């Protein structure tokens, strides 16, 4: 078992994101997961990401707040405990359109060719 305390989580900057603080909870360290990494993103009001796509799928899980996800012009509001899968290559944009902070877990496989 590999335990990582929240106090040990390191911030990271995700490209094409604004108004967000990301913390790497698990992944990219010796003894950690070998097939994916787990991040915690905290989006300020007006914060968001995209539009862009990644070469691997990802899962968003909303812990608190409401996040608007836009794919092909269709807007979906994810609320507390809602989740979605974004397939590899799918262009998406996400926006916090509320006055509260959105806290979101992000699960992403390691990119092809990347070994932890």
Q: How far, in whole angstroms, is CA 6 from its chain's centroid?
A: 16
pLDDT per residue of the chain (116 residues) written in tens, 0 to 9? 999 999 999 999 999 999 999 999 999 999 999 999 999 999 999 999 999 999 999 999 999 999 999 999 999 999 999 999 999 999 999 999 999 999 999 999 998 887 77
pTM: 0.94
Which two structure tokens, joined as six digits, stand for 71?
């794919």
| Burial state string for 17-42 with b = 16 or more CB within 10 A and e = fewer than 16 | bebbebebbbbeeeebbeebbbbbbb
User: Closest by alpha carbon to 90, among 110, 70, 104?
Assistant: 70
What is the spatial distance between Cα 45 and Cα 33, in angstroms, rounded to a whole number?
A: 32
């Amino acid at each position: 078992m590999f335990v990582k305390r929240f106090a040990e989580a390191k911030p990271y900057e995700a490209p094409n994101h604004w108004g967000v603080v990301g913390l790497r909870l698990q992944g990219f360290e010796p003894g950690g997961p070998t097939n994916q990494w787990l991040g915690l993103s905290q989006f300020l009001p007006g914060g968001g990401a995209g539009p862009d796509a990644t070469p691997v799928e990802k899962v968003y899980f909303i812990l608190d707040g409401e996040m608007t996800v836009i794919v092909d012009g269709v807007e979906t509001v994810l609320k507390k405990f809602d989740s979605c899968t974004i397939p590899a290559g799918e262009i998406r944009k996400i926006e916090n359109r509320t006055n509260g902070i959105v806290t979101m877990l992000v699960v992403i496989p390691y990119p092809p060719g990347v070994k932890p």
